[in-house]
Amino acid sequence: MAKEIAIVGAGVGGLATAARLAHDGYRVQVYEKLDRPGGRNHLLEDAGFRFDMGPSFVLMPDFYREVFRYCDADLNDYMDLRTLDTHYKIFFPDGDVLNVTRDTARLKDELERIEPGSSRGYDEMIAETGRIYQAVEPLLYECFTRRSLLEPRLWPLVPKLRVHESCWGLASRHFRSEKLRYAFTFEAMFIGVSPFAAPAFYSIITYTDQVHKIGHPMGGMYQIPLSLVRLAEERGAQFHYGAEVQRVTPGRDGVRLQIGGDTVAADSVVINADYPYAREMLLGQPLPNYEYSCSVYLLYLGLKEKVPHLEHHNLFFAQDLRLNLAQIFQTKEMPHDPSFYIHVPTVTDPSLAPPGKEILYVLIPVPNLKGGRDEIAAHEERLRRLVLDRVRAVSGVDVEGLIEVEHRFYPRDFARYNCKYGATFGLSHSLMQSAFFRPPNWDPALPHTYFVGASTQPGGGLPVVIASSRIVADLINRHTRG
């Protein structure tokens, strides 16, 4: 009889793992405390507006295609993934604007306008980050421990990964202009870390952005979990919503899950809950002194009319970005003058709002709640006003008067997803919490127990989380079948 695998959490990592293992012939049961799948890749619906609440970029599309190929399926049969012509639009505080497009020739013209000669620096940066990507990509499908550092096969990779350099340092070798340095390092914020602190190997995000391009699934980002649920269910996985797992007890012969007043047995468990929560609350183990990513303050605005001069993805940089990042990550105070991101998916996908209307999803990075500080209430109106004023300055539109629907999401609200300290992106991606030093997907001291998701290996971001599901599936197959 096929072995039974319990999966705790129906985030993207858990869903991708469920699809793989069900395809491999296991009996898969997924337990999710919320009433729908997706985890942080969630959906908010109100008055005909469909707000994607979590991730908003599709980077590294090959990682999405891989999970469907693993299950003998074609991504195109489940999702209509479109490549954006304009990847994002950057608004600098001096009024300058940079359009980062999929057309490299057009992009280079934009770069030369800001910094003469920078197109050569761009080519050199892409070549260098491409070499790093070639070194890193195979590692994204392996589970490492600190003992892995003793493996001779890995030693040649260390200099290739530029572990002693930051993303900012790498960009600074290719661009003189701080504008362009910021433009090609801000992606570090997608994993909740400052570009001044992120190890240079995370510049592969910039590489994939530029080379593999940026996509959008028509119907919104929530199509990703929906497609994975369909993939998993077609292969026999079963889903249980409103089923919160309170405890996981590993044993020699299997595991037991406490769900309400019931105890469920399984041969193995895959925990998709965020790793610190899983270790502390589900397994009852003490936590090391981890570093955590930043949090965010979110506004979901449904507007009565379209807003001109915005693209699908928009970045507004602070006057003093160094100070802005220092306040978030070092002094841990609410930004005086924040940088922020605005997602306008209706530029590409009008189906997400009623006809003629617009969605603005505003994300402002703020400190996490470690240390007990929660100062958002004293600053939220100021931050909201600053955002609306800057949108009016670039669009000529008073967005305040167009708001039909508004929802706000605070750092404390990430407790819904069991994110410790409201750390939106889970554990920080510092050097000592990356690769060999990040929590592994399997711990021999916890029999029959596996971990998938942003805070375990290989790291955060949807494509990398999908890669972690492959690591877990391979581990379970190896341990079960030899």
The mean pLDDT of 321-325, rounded to a whole number, is 94
Cβ atoms of 198 and 191 within 8 Å: the answer is yes
Buried/exposed code over 28-58 (b: 16+ C-beta within 10 A; e: otherwise): bbbbbbbeebbbbbbbbeeeebbbbbbbbbb
Q: What is the pLDDT of residues 23-47, one digit of tens each?
A: 999 999 999 999 999 999 999 999 9
Average pLDDT (321-347) is 95
* Cβ neighbours for 380, distance < 8 A, ≥ 6 positions apart: 297, 408, 410
Q: How do beta strands 245-251 and 254-259 pair?
A: antiparallel
Read off the pLDDT band of 1 (50, 70, 90): low
**In this structure, what are the phi and psi dihedrals at residue 466, rounded to the nearest 5 degrees?**
-65, -40
pLDDT at 82 over 80: yes
pLDDT band for position 164 (50/70/90)?
A: confident
Q: What is the mean pLDDT of residues 10-26?
A: 98
Domain assignment present for 128 = no
Residue type for 110, please? E
Cβ atoms of 232 and 97 within 8 Å: the answer is no
Residue-wise pLDDT for 212-249, tens only, equals 999 999 999 999 999 999 999 999 999 999 999 999 99
Is the pLDDT assigned to residue 373 strictly greater than 80? no
pLDDT (average), residues 243-269: 96
Q: What is the per-residue pLDDT for 462?
A: 96
Q: Coil, helix or strand for 205?
A: helix
Q: What is the DSSP string of 316-363?
A: E--SSHHHHHHHHHTS----SS--EEEE-GGGT-GGGSSTT-EEEEEE
Q: What percentage of residues in the chain have a pLDDT greater than 70?
A: 98
pLDDT at position 10 is 98
Domain of 477, CATH number, reads: 3.50.50.60
In a domain, 14, yes or no: yes
Q: What is the dihedral of CA 188, 191, 193, 195, to 10 degrees?
A: -10
pLDDT value, residue 435: 84
Polymer length in residues for the chain: 482
pLDDT in tens, 127-162: 999 999 998 888 899 998 777 777 777 767 777 777
pTM to 2 decimal places: 0.96
pLDDT band at 482 (very low <50, low <70, confident <90, very high): low
Instruction: Please name the residue that has the structure tokens 């012939």.
Output: 25
Neighbours of 377 (CB within 10 A): 8
Bridge partners (DSSP) of residue 245 are: 259
Q: Is the pLDDT of residue 90 over 80?
A: yes
Q: Which residue has the higher pLDDT, 302 or 443?
A: 302
Instruction: Answer whether residue 227 is part of any domain.
Output: yes
Residue 464 has pLDDT above 80, yes or no: yes
Contact 365, 294 (CB under 8 A): yes
- Structural domain contains residue 276: yes
Average pLDDT score over residue span 202-220: 94
- Pairing between β-strand 97-101 and β-strand 254-259 as defined by DSSP bridges: unpaired
Task: Please report the pLDDT score of residue 163 as a whole number.
Answer: 77
The verdict on residue 170 lying in a domain is no
Q: For the chain, what is the domain count?
A: 1
Task: Flag whether 237 is in a domain.
Answer: yes
Q: Where are the alpha helices (DSSP H) in 330-413?
A: 376-395
Tokens at 175, concatenated: 């661009």
Hey, is 256 helix, strand or coil? strand
Segment among 64-73, 104-113, 366-375 with least mean pLDDT: 366-375
Closest alpha carbon to 247 in 280, 214, 276 = 280
Average pLDDT over residues 173-193: 92
Can you give the residue range of the structural domain that contains 25?
4-45+221-289+431-481
Q: Are residues 466 and 63 in contact, defined by beta-carbon separation less than 8 angstroms?
A: yes
Residue 455 lies in a domain: yes
CA dist., res. 482 & res. 463, Å (int): 28
pLDDT of residue 431: 87
**Angle subtended at Cα 364 by Cα 201 and Cα 459, rounded to the nearest 5 degrees:** 30
Pairwise CA distance, residues 106 & 135, whole Å: 29
Average pLDDT on 161-190 reads 91
Greater model confidence, 434 or 299:
299
Most confident of 67-71, 140-144, 369-373: 67-71
Q: Residue 191: its pLDDT value, please?
A: 86
**Distance between CA 287 and CA 246 in Å, rounded?**
17
Q: Bridge partners of 365?
A: 296
| 208 assigned to some structural domain | no
Alpha helices in 45-97 (DSSP H): 61-70
385's tokens: 């006003």
